């Protein structure tokens, strides 16, 4: 007999080898470990911890956090921002949480000089104020002068045309009136769902020399005083010098003149204006009367669209430079499943003081951490790991969160359960939610548990929300906040919420996702939403283009969702005495967690390849009212400039890509190889 091998014995008479004994012991330990908390103690105790969380709310505590956070401006990459970083980090540490900062060296953009002047026919010149009213000196106040980050430097001189919100439809309206913006400066009022970058890009395509932009109505974001809305005009998210990888200090970087970098920035300068300065320009316009709809909307006193005899000169000089930004990360380790992560995030940086955006959300995040720490002192430990994330440089284009996601992409893909994002926690009354569909029912359940503190009568947030907008949950197709890299690049189920004066919803969502034995992810809602999306496309697509591949994949996904739902019910109905039940629940949870990743495609969305999610993501077809299947939407728009044969082929290809993505998600949900 060959050496190192032993003669096999009868299973009834042989003694187990030390290795077999060791393996068996390990399996029993694993099973025992996971059954310790299935179910997580007494259900009454779970409810007790939720009640303690809700009852420990303190508006005065949140107010004190907010005062500290907003005592001075704290733009990312500037010295004053370091104080805010220290405040957040120290808060987490004082609660006893594992806390660390994650630095990245990224390209940021700051203003050096800006001016706008009106030149009249009698040779008089009027220099327009660019700053907020009541702020006489930017250096003494610590504020950075109003600007658009990543705008190119330049001086332009020309006549002005009012282009409403700067949409393609607005330029068509001007064209029908005989007004051409080529060689002119366009003045835009912010709104119409377009990002600043998209507004400038469209204006550049129309031949405009530059863009002046002003805000009407709610100007809380990026503004102060009378309201000058700062913001970024860079396309995409993340550090432009490190597309696809984390911006480590000593890591690889593209050159600033690299084509891939330059494509992220507009080619014409732009500036934000105070409303009062914008009105002076509007008053000088001549030419055709503005459409009645334009005149009736907003608070501008608008008569004509231009141009006129008055010329406008504007100069912007800025600098792009490397700056160090810091994310602050705090961790509560899960007791049973420490390798499963529930992430709760908010960005910390602000254009000015950030009283609403973002630091009302930051103060709420700090308070949730305080309340979770209180639960821990009373004996609570989460089943899964909770990670608090305080992002930097969101205002420049979700840079802090994007770099962190890129750096941790593999671990997030394998371990992230969900990402819960809040920008503004106190932006007027009412509740507003955006989410991926499998989280809808959890949001409904949680909002039924939390009282609406703004209501004059006793009512839950769910009830108040229902009366205001019918419990509508928006989808996360835009690139609006830090959920974008988690969902649209990493495929992590995500929530983005805005609400008035309550931390309860955000905190309870985190508790359920961290503690529920079976993850509260309901893919039947997703299946229903996908069917509605398919039906919407069937109404606008050419009848010669078949949606059969899409319909078949949705049917397959629906079947998988029903199977997962039935399995969840059966597992939750069983007595928690079977040792293998814990492992069955773990396996089901992995499928529920990973299904969202199936919607990712390695090639990404055509023309915006960093965005991998084929159901929700940004589209280049700004006019489309369909905020889903961005690849199909873009192909439909591009087909107008192709032959019918080529156009149909492009649309069919995108339909197949989406169908394959849905099939991948269905396979992940079933947990089976095909």
Cite the active site residues.
Answer: 394
d(CA 245, CA 235): 17
- 450 contact partners, CB below 8 Å, separation of at least 6: 54, 460, 461, 502, 504, 505, 508
d(CA 188, CA 175): 16
Q: Smallest Cα–Cα separation from 354: which of 500, 221, 498, 497?
A: 221
Determine contact, residues 600/613, Cβ cutoff 8 Å: yes
Q: Smallest Cα–Cα separation from 110: which of 73, 163, 84?
A: 73
Instruction: Identify the helix (H) or strand (E) that includes residue 462.
Output: helix 461-469
Instruction: Identify the helix (H) or strand (E) that includes residue 189.
Output: strand 185-189
Task: Map residue 306 onto helix, strand or coil.
Answer: strand
DSSP category for residue 485:
I
- Degrees to nearest 5, angle at CA 241 with 237 and 246: 70
Determine contact, residues 511/50, Cβ cutoff 8 Å: yes
Relative orientation angle of helices 359-377 and 79-94, to the nearest 10 degrees: 20
Q: How far is CA 559 from CA 120, 597, 599, 665, in A?
A: 70, 18, 17, 12
Q: How far is CA 438 from CA 400, 526, 559, 656, in A?
A: 27, 6, 15, 23
- 25 contact partners, CB below 8 Å, separation of at least 6: none
């Amino acid at each position: 007999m060959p050496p190192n091998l032993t003669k096999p014995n009868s299973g009834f008479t042989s003694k187990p080898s030390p290795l077999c004994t060791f393996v068996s012991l390990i399996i029993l330990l694993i099973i025992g470990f996971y059954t310790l908390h299935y179910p997580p103690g007494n259900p009454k105790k779970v409810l007790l911890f939720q009640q303690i969380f809700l009852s420990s709310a303190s508006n005065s505590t949140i107010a004190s956090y907010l005062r500290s956070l907003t005592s001075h401006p704290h733009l990312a990459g500037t010295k004053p921002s370091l104080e805010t970083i220290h405040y957040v980090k120290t808060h987490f540490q004082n609660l006893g949480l594992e806390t660390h900062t994650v630095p990245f060296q990224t390209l940021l953009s700051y203003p050096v000089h800006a001016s706008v002047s009106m030149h009249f026919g009698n040779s008089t010149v009027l220099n327009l104020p660019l700053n907020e009213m009541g702020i006489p000196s930017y250096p003494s106040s610590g504020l950075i002068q109003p600007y658009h980050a990543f705008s190119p430097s330049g001086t332009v001189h020309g006549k002005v045309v009012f282009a409403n919100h700067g949409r393609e439809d607005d330029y068509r309206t001007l064209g029908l009136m005989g007004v051409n913006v080529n060689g002119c400066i366009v003045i835009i009022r912010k709104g119409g769902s377009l990002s600043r970058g998209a507004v400038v890009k469209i204006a550049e395509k129309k031949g405009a020399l530059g863009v002046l932009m002003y805000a009407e109505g709610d100007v809380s974001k990026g503004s102060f005083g009378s309201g000058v809305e700062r913001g970024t005009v860079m396309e995409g998210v993340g550090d432009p010098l490190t597309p696809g990888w984390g911006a480590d200090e000593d890591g690889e970087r593209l050159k600033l003149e690299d084509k891939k970098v330059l494509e992220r920035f507009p080619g014409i300068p732009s500036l934000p204006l105070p409303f009062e300065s914008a009105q002076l320009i509007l008053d000088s316009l001549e030419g055709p009367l503005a459409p009645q709809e334009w005149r009736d909307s907003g608070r501008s006193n608008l008569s004509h669209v231009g141009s006129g005899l008055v010329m406008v000169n504007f100069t912007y000089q800025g600098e792009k430079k490397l700056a160090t930004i810091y994310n602050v990360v705090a961790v509560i380790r899960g007791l049973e499943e420490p390798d499963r992560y529930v992430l709760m995030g908010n960005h910390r940086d602000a254009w000015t003081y950030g009283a609403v955006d973002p630091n009302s959300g930051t103060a709420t995040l700090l308070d949730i951490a305080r309340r979770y720490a209180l639960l821990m002192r009373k004996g609570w430990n989460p089943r899964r790991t909770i990670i608090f994330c305080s992002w930097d440089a969101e205002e420049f284009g979700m840079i802090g969160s994007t770099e962190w996601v890129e750096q941790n992409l593999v671990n997030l893909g394998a371990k992230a359960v969900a990402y819960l994002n809040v920008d503004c926690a106190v932006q007027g009354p009412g509740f507003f939610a955006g989410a991926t569909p499998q989280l809808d029912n959890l949001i409904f359940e949680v909002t039924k548990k939390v009282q609406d503190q703004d209501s004059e009568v006793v009512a839950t947030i769910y009830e108040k929300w229902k009366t205001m907008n019918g419990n509508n949950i928006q989808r996360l197709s835009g690139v609006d906040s830090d959920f974008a890299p988690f969902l649209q690049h990493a495929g992590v189920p995500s929530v983005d919420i805005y609400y008035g004066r309550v931390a309860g919803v955000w905190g309870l969502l985190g508790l359920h996702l961290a503690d529920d034995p079976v993850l509260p992810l309901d893919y039947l809602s997703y299946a229903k939403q996908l069917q509605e999306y398919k039906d919407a496309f069937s109404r606008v697509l050419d009848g010669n283009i078949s949606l059969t591949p899409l319909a078949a994949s949705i049917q397959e996904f629906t079947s998988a969702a029903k199977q997962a739902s039935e399995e969840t019910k059966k597992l939750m109905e069983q007595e928690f005495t079977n040792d293998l039940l814990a492992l069955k629940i773990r396996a089901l949870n992995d499928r529920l967690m990973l299904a969202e990743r199936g919607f990712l495609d390695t090639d990404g969305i055509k023309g915006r390849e960093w965005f991998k999610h084929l159901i929700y993501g940004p589209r280049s077809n700004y006019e489309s009212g369909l905020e889903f299947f961005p690849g199909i939407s873009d192909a439909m728009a591009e087909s107008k400039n192709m032959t019918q044969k080529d156009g149909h082929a492009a649309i069919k290809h995108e339909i197949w890509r989406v169908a394959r993505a849905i099939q991948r998600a269905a396979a992940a949900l079933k947990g089976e190889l095909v």
